[in-house]
Amino acid sequence: MSFEMNKIAGAILVAMIVAMVSGIIASKLVEPIPLKKNVYEVAIAPEAAPSGGQAAPAGPAPIEPLLASASIEAGKAHTAVCQTCHTFDKGGPNKIGPNLYGIVGSKIAEGRGGFEFSDALKSKAKEVGGVWTVDNLNAWLANPQHFASGTKMTFAGDSKAKDRADVIAYLNSLSDHPQPLPTKVPAQAAAPKAAAAAPKAAPAAASLDALLATANVADGKTHAIICTTCHTFDKGGPNRIGPNLYGVVGSPIAESRNGYDFSDALKAKGKGQTWTFANLDAWLANPQDFAHGTKMTFAGFPKAKDRADLIAYLDTLSDHPVPLPKAPGK
């Protein structure tokens, strides 16, 4: 009897040892590697303080006068670039950014199906009343980083007030209870001031060649930080939301990039063309103007000098960089 009990006890012990060892081996085989940082978190270089003691630029002008004539259909078209990161239908899921149904009049950085908002936007919400009013949305759409410095939003903003008004009108329509919008333009906004002086002619812009001749590669690399959410820049790097950009200068438009699925809009626009300096400059200024319907959600770099610096940086990421223009006398 004692011998039989010993055999049973031994069998149980062996089974326990096998189970324990199997668990250890299994945990090592599928051990997760935690991310050191958020994939979609974008580090933005701090802006230099304005020189000469000047105050920081004010936010955009009030949007109400333009809302009276805003086009919901135009606004819907403008939001095509937002669909990579957001959904707009009622009950739609969050993506990189939150679902935007019912956003107008809702609380800033709250709700949205539990979306994890940045501390920067949560803090800003307390400063501006905590609600997405049309004025707050106007300031956000004009420049998210200026509205809440440090936000996770990578979109650079829309510089055209009319486009922002159209987008706000469209977003307002996506609601069970749309907010009342202005129905007529205020008289003072409709009629230009009689005493207003004629605007001075803007100085002639420097040519792209001149800007490239004096471009700063280090500044271009800094500007490219905002692009790292969607792109990789190292040789052989993977595609993300957008393609890897190593060797992009001089390469065919909307081809190769390790099989990246380019939009039909960019394929049509770039058929038979390469990423010349001029094409890159036009693309970086406004991707949607360059190829309307492209999947690129970034609004563009409005400053020609920033674009030239970025192009010069991209040109260095190549086994065979394209020679940049030289300044006169060099």
Hey, which bits of 185-261 come out as E strands? none
Residue 10 lies in a domain: no
pLDDT band at 250 (very low <50, low <70, confident <90, very high): very high
Q: State the pLDDT at residue 326.
A: 87
Same domain, 156 and 265: no
Cα 99 to Cα 288: distance, rounded to the nearest angstrom: 22
Domain boundary among 121, 153, 186: 186
State which of 131-145, 153-167, 299-313 shows the largest mean pLDDT: 299-313
Q: What is the mean pLDDT of residues 30-52?
A: 46
Task: Please choose, from the candidates 103, 107, 134, the residue with its C-alpha nearest in 3D space to the C-alpha of residue 121.
Answer: 107
Q: Which structural domain, as residue segments, surrounds residue 72?
A: 61-186
In the three-class reduction of DSSP (H, G, I as helix; E, B as strand; rest coil), residue 112 is classed as helix
Q: Would 21 be classed as within a structural domain?
A: no
Count the helix, strand and coil residues of the chain and give each as a percent rounded to the nearest 5.
40, 0, 55
Q: Rounded to whole angstroms, what are the CA distances from 278 to 105, 212, 250, 306? A: 42, 11, 11, 14
* Tens digits of residue pLDDT in 112-129: 888 888 888 888 888 888
41 in a structural domain:
no
pLDDT, average across residues 19-46:
53
162 confidence band (pLDDT: 50, 70, 90): confident
Taking only the tens place, the pLDDT of each residue in 313-330 is: 999 999 999 999 887 765
CATH number (domain holding residue 256): 1.10.760.10
Give yes or no for a contact between 168 and 182, defined as CB atoms under 8 angstroms apart: no
Q: Are 103 and 148 in the same domain?
A: yes
Q: Which amino acid is at 173?
A: S
323: its two tokens: 């020679």
pLDDT of residue 45: 42
Are 174 and 91 within one domain? yes
For range 250-272, the mean pLDDT? 92
Domain boundary among 139, 155, 186: 186
Q: How many domains does the chain have?
A: 2
Burial letters 124-151, b for 16+ CB under 10 A, else e: bbeebebebbbbbbbbbbbbbbbbbebb
Q: What is the pLDDT of residue 318?
A: 94
pLDDT at residue 189, rounded to an integer: 46
Torsion of CA 120, 125, 126, 127, to 10 degrees: 90
CA-based diameter of the chain, in Å? 115
What is the residue-wise DSSP string for 59-100? -PPPSHHHHTT--HHHHHHHGGGGTTT---STTPPP-SS---
